[in-house]
Structure 1
């Protein structure tokens, strides 16, 4: 199925031959990309509005929706392969928007060894995956979703809660206990060091959610219930007084060092917004390319770009959502502005071509690959000339 969608050049397709026009998909779509024609009664898809959250795919009773990312077959293959690779019978399915690092998973669920399955939204996971996992011999299934009012896809987290409730009722009848599938919710938040804060107000100006408040006296206070964890304030803080849970500056710097040591020349480091690029579960990058998936392209600050150059990275490629598609209230536009200004400064020393910013959308799966390939070819050509 997913191959047919890929051939069409889009990530999701509505198969009219199987569609029963039940309207479940249109009622759940957070972006009104699927609608029902009031005159004909037929359901139709407006791909330009689609964000490929996959909620429609996982809830369609007629299986009339084909999707290229994390479809049923690819998920089953991944579980079979990962069960052997990780050699354990515990599965953790997590939304990228809420997932902490592995240590955080251990703290939340009390498991040190597990099979990780990270997806853009847990609402896209069909019931069959949970049942197949149990049939494969997986004994514990944990699901980590966003808080319901925090979900970037609006209905993904609530749908997951109801789906797991129904599955647990079924599994209890089959003798698997009351909570065969455990659900927890988590949201990444900003952390502020008031001792370092200079009360400049940058975070207040840039925060898309008005979570940062400038108070006098006392400096900056954060309303963590409003914070959505985009990291824009962190990237814009001149005093380095802010950090984003699990995406602290030091941990990103350490990761850059690790990736640089693995790469061949010319080394290309890719920062990807996790809502703009959905990498396949079996992704294999070229030997000279490594990637870091971030909660938002806005989390990429100038320090990380310059740090990458200092650590031997030839060039930095940043893939973000467009402002219209941004899940963080157009934070990507502010990130693009920041990168453009840095590129201007790099131009003063002839390094501007080593930094590239582009916007892509997961609804068009070839966009990211095409952009990266073109950039990579340019950098490799330049590197070959310089190396001679």
Structure 2
């Protein structure tokens, strides 16, 4: 009998072959399995990050993630000839440019998943069998994978599938292209203050005394956005989340704005997640690539344009995919709360944490925040 865990994971001990593949694949040591007991995989829900690697690795189908079910992916891709599969961390801001650079000829459909490591070869083969002629997979660069092993697992499966298809004489075009989101630096605006150097968790920036300007090492940049949110000269932007376009997005509408880290919540902002969740009326969800990018200006602009309140939702600090994003956001927002209190706007901003393990958390936070704002 299958057991559903926190509405996101299903384990069927009767199908488990006790091969231990799931335990070896898990980046977070969240799986235990005792041979001979016929109990199947035991998953520690405090450690599980819902990456989906256990499910895509299991050869017998004993573990199934309920997020992004295969049937919804196949349905979305029905009738498509050119498909691009991207990760939340690798999705290009300019899809047309990415298509041209990949050499793809057809008009593409992009399907974005939390991590491409949750895709197994069987699902990719089913997509091709539906008539897809060009399949592009765009995982994060391996060292930048937010789930540690997802990109590596996907690449191995993809390359093996491509080799098998070539030997079979199949003519589908399969393209693998790694990419990761990086900062965009305008050295002409830099005031050589060193804020970015002090805050970067990855030592990706340094000051050049001879030129009185900062210098970024993009090979180290993880795209967390912490430097972007704190740069006093607005000299740094994050690819795909440029300040001008993002400010206009958060400033639209009334009611409650939810600024959510894209790794903290899967169920509410994407129909493909398969959770059938609907935001309450008057609530709008806007994703950030990491809560490190939660610039105080975004919150202030939302309030200035009539938002009733702003709920900032991030990962718990120990689960932050980019080391210090949640910690930095919590600190910045506490500073902002003190300023808002001085101008009579206390209580209009709320910071909370959530995990995809429990898709009901966001709903609870919205209800509590709504009562607080009454």
Question: Structure 2 length normalisation: TM-score?
Answer: 0.90
CA-CA distance at 1:176 after TM superposition: 2.3
Give yes or no for the alignment of 1:205 onto 2:198: yes
Which segment drifts farther, 66-75 or 101-110?
101-110
Within 5 Å, give how 1:258-273 maps onto structure 2: 260=252, 263=253, 265=254, 267-273=255-261
List per-residue Cα deviations over 1:233-263 (Å, max 9, x = no partner).
Answer: 1001111111111111112123235xx2xx4
In structure 2, the partner of 1:386 is none
Pick from 234, 247, 256 the counterpart of residue 253 of structure 1.
247
Q: Partners in 1 of 2:288 and 2:174 — Cα distance?
A: 28
Q: Report if aligned partners of 2:27, 2:149 keep a CA contact under 8 Å in 1.
A: yes
Decide whether aligned partners of structure 1 residues 271 and 105 sit closer, same or farther in structure 2, where only a CA change above 3 A counts.
farther
CA-CA distance at 1:307 after TM superposition: 1.4
Q: Report if aligned partners of 1:189, 1:224 keep a CA contact under 8 Å in 2.
A: yes
Within 5 Å, give how 1:127-206 maps onto structure 2: 127-177=121-171, 180-206=173-199
Pick from 88, 91, 106 the counterpart of residue 96 of structure 1.
88
In structure 1, the partner of 2:354 is 360
Q: What SS is found at the alignment partner of 1:324?
A: helix
In structure 1, the partner of 2:51 is 53
In structure 2, the partner of 1:385 is none
List per-residue Cα deviations over 1:197-242 (Å, max 9, x = no partner).
Answer: 1121111111111111123233311121111011111001111111
Q: Report if aligned partners of 1:94, 1:117 keep a CA contact under 8 Å in 2.
A: yes
Q: Partners in 2 of 1:108 and 1:249 — Cα distance?
A: 26
In structure 1, the partner of 2:75 is 77
Pick from 256, 259, 262 the counterpart of residue 274 of structure 1.
262
In structure 2, the partner of 1:17 is 14
Decide whether aligned partners of structure 1 residues 287 and 90 sit closer, same or farther in structure 2, where only a CA change above 3 A counts.
farther
Q: Partners in 2 of 1:10 and 1:284 — Cα distance?
A: 16
Q: What SS is found at the alignment partner of 2:50?
A: coil
Q: What SS is found at the alignment partner of 2:347?
A: helix
Q: Partners in 2 of 1:377 and 1:136 — Cα distance?
A: 48
Q: What SS is found at the alignment partner of 2:307?
A: coil
CA-CA distance at 1:285 after TM superposition: 3.1
Where is the helix percentage greater, Structure 1 or Structure 2? 1
Q: What SS is found at the alignment partner of 2:287?
A: strand
Q: What SS is found at the alignment partner of 2:317?
A: coil
Q: What SS is found at the alignment partner of 1:254?
A: helix
Q: Report if aligned partners of 1:171, 1:180 keep a CA contact under 8 Å in 2.
A: no
In structure 1, the partner of 2:288 is 294
**RMSD (Å) for aligned C-alpha atoms:** 2.4
Question: Structure 1 length normalisation: TM-score?
Answer: 0.87
In structure 2, the partner of 1:226 is 220
Aligned length: 364
Q: Partners in 2 of 1:254 and 1:105 — Cα distance?
A: 25
List per-residue Cα deviations over 1:122-143 (Å, max 9, x = no partner).
Answer: 1111223322222322222111
Which segment drifts farther, 211-220 or 187-196?
211-220
